[in-house]
Amino acid sequence: MKLLKYFLILFVSIGIAACDMTDLDLQDNPNAVTPENASINDLYNNIQLSFRNVYSSAQGSPGAMARMYHQGAYLYLSATSPNTMNGLWQNAYSTLFPDIDALLNLAEERGLDIHAGSAKIMKAYTLLTMVDLLGDVPFSEAGQGTDVISPSADPGSSVYAAAISLLDEAVAQLSGTSAGRPTVDIYYGGSATKWIKAANSIKLKAALNTGDAATINALVSGGNIITSTADDFEFTYGTQRANPNSRHPFYQSHYEIGDGDYMSNYYMWLMKGDKKDANGSVVVDPRIRFYFYRKIDDAENQDVTTYSCHFSETPDQTAKPAHFVSVDPDLPYCYAAPDGYLGRDHLNGEGIPPDGPTRTSYGLYPGGGQFDDDSFKDTRKSGTTGALGNGIWPIMHASFVDFMRAEAALRLGTSDDARALLESGIRKSISKVFSFKSKVAATMSTQITLRDGSSGTIEELYVPNQDRIDAYVDFVLAEYDAASADGKLDIVVKEYYIAAWGNGLEAYNMYRRTGKPGNMQPGLEPEVGAFARSFYLPAVHVDRNANASQKTITDRVFWDNGPEVY
């Protein structure tokens, strides 16, 4: 210890002497970053990427709770921990918020309204997300450096109100501005008009969570919200594999050499087995070949060592647990559908068998993978197939806005026509998903001959045509017309849930708000503990903040007055 102190003293002494000899304090360092020479466009670019990271870290675990993705472990208490949201917390408080505050100081004194306004929108979205997932979080005392080392949490309702005020400020700042555009705007190409629509749509989302019908009506009548897929708020990934790797996380999960994530059997089943016509025939969702890529065509007769069904060695549907049947007799067990849709059931914490060659992969949408053309090949090709990861994060789409408005009409009594918006939302979602055909144009135009002798391009043979799309929409609308009030809400939320693929945050929010879809697959075991109504406060916060104390996952955030869910 004495030796260590000696070297520390020597080091400090040399450092002081060096400063005296060079007299750096009396000179200007030409390489130092100062407000006068800071590159605001470089800072803005970093903010955009940090915001992407916030979204990415915020949507996965909530989506797994809502069965959009597979949730491992057998109990909800084991499925999440104080470390689950560490990434979200650090991305927000350590990177995004300080960078935005620095940018606002620079942009507003220079009159760069698009830089400043859009940055406020990203900050507001992040603040809303923090409350949605964690409840009460620091705001008024946050970001003050050594002046406030342990910021206290503000009530979630207050943080929500602050975020709404930021959105209003942003809209006012962006309205009619003639300011120069950012050099690179990944989201909207510097369009103030599109950023305003995003801000108002985010505000609508917040109003739906809090049950504010008046605000929703005002936003809709104002007309300045996202209504066209051309205005979709999303982050687009590239195709570069290294230096840097710019590809979508879904692609990296399944298209390199690793086995990749398990797909949710329930979510795949919603598109492949949930809807049945009067004859008992399955009405298949037209988007399923874009969402998922099957490596096999038979999910029932694989080697027994590749299964992890829990109640049986193979996907024997007679072994389906009774608590599944009590929810919906058609719920899947061990697979989503026998023709190759092989994932895992909710809260299946079994060990990992050698099932990499059989488990279903993420598809073309939204992760930039492969379109399912019945080729049934392994996707683990070192990142050389499909759209090479050129996918998106769907933050706020036109279809989402339609479904939110439809839900609000049914649940809050707003002025909208829920049925018309249900149809509009489905059609916009399908159009968006089908637009990904252009990312694999060579595949779509490939001529093939099927076993029955029919031939054509992959697009002609496997992409549903307009008649099939119309048939799907007509089926959903007929079901809606025949349903009770509660059934109508279930259909609207279920279609929103399907359209939101890649946005687990909205899936989690809608499930807590409505308790829909009503036939959610329960946990694999009969007793899985109470559902996680929110997440633990991150360990990186609780362990370092003297004013922070841990919460429980059964705590509801301030707006959550929805029904009990499982």
Residue-range domain boundaries for the chain:
36-237+399-566, 248-390
What residue type is assigned to position 381 of the chain?
A: K
For 524-540, how does the pLDDT look when each residue is reduced to its tens digit (9 = 90+)?
A: 999 999 999 999 999 99
Nearest to 101 by CA among 60, 43, 52, 54: 43
Q: Which residue has the tokens 């993420």?
A: 362
Bridge partners (DSSP) of residue 449 are: 455
DSSP, collapsed to helix, strand or coil, labels residue 217 as: helix
pLDDT score recorded for residue 108:
86
Instruction: Supply the mean pLDDT for the chain.
Output: 93
Distances (CA, A) of 226 to 116, 222, 294, 314: 21, 12, 34, 46
Residue 40 pLDDT:
95
Instruction: Tell me which residue of 69, 498, 457, 70 sits closest to 290, measured CA to CA.
Output: 498
CA distance linking residue 489 with residue 506, whole number of Å: 16
pLDDT at 408: 99
pLDDT at 16: 29
Sign of CA dihedral 82, 86, 87, 91: positive
Phi and psi dihedrals of 413, rounded to 5? 75, 30
DSSP, collapsed to helix, strand or coil, labels residue 511 as: helix
Q: How many CB atoms sit inside 10 A of residue 290's CB?
A: 26
- Scan for tokens 């809209």, then name that residue: 171
**DSSP collapsed to 3 states, 401-438:** HHHHHHHHHHHCCCCCCHHHHHHHHHHHHHHHHHHHHH
Q: What is the dihedral of CA 43, 48, 53, 59, to 10 degrees?
A: 150
Which ranges of the chain have pLDDT less than 50?
1-28, 30-33, 37
CATH topology of domain 36-237+399-566: 1.25.40
Q: What does the buried/exposed string (b/e) look like for 459-471 if buried means 16 or more CB atoms within 10 Å of the residue's CB?
A: bebebbeeeebee
Q: What is the DSSP letter of 214?
A: H
Q: How far is CA 30 from CA 27, 34, 36, 245, 370, in A?
A: 9, 10, 11, 32, 50
pTM of the model: 0.93
d(CA 430, CA 262): 24
CB 49 within 8 A of CB 238: no
Encoding tokens for residue 541? 């916060």
Query: Which ranges of 66-96 does DSSP label H, i.e. alpha helix?
Result: 76-79, 86-89
pLDDT digits (tens, 9 = 90+) for 99-157: 999 999 999 889 999 999 999 999 999 999 999 999 999 999 999 988 999 999 999 99
- The predicted-structure confidence for 173-207, as pLDDT tens digits, reads as follows 999 999 999 999 999 999 999 999 999 999 999 99
Burial of residue 457, with CB atoms counted within 10 A of its CB: 0-12 exposed, 13-18 middle, 19 or more buried: middle
The DSSP secondary-structure symbol of 237 reads -
* Contact present, 92 and 124 (Cβ < 8 Å): no
Predicted local confidence at residue 300, as pLDDT: 97
- Could you tell me if 88 and 54 are in contact, meaning their C-beta atoms sit under 8 angstroms apart? yes
Identify the bridge partners of residue 282 per DSSP, sorted by sequence position: 276
Q: b/e for 106-120, b at 16 or more Cβ within 10 A?
A: bbeeeebbbbbbbbb
| Nearest residue to 343 via CA among 557, 220, 521, 103 | 521
Sign (positive/negative) of CA torsion 63, 68, 74, 76? positive
- The sign of the dihedral angle between the CA atoms of 247, 251, 253, 256 is negative
Phi/psi of residue 169, nearest 5 degrees = -60, -45
C-alpha distances out from residue 316 to 55, 304, 340, Å = 38, 12, 15
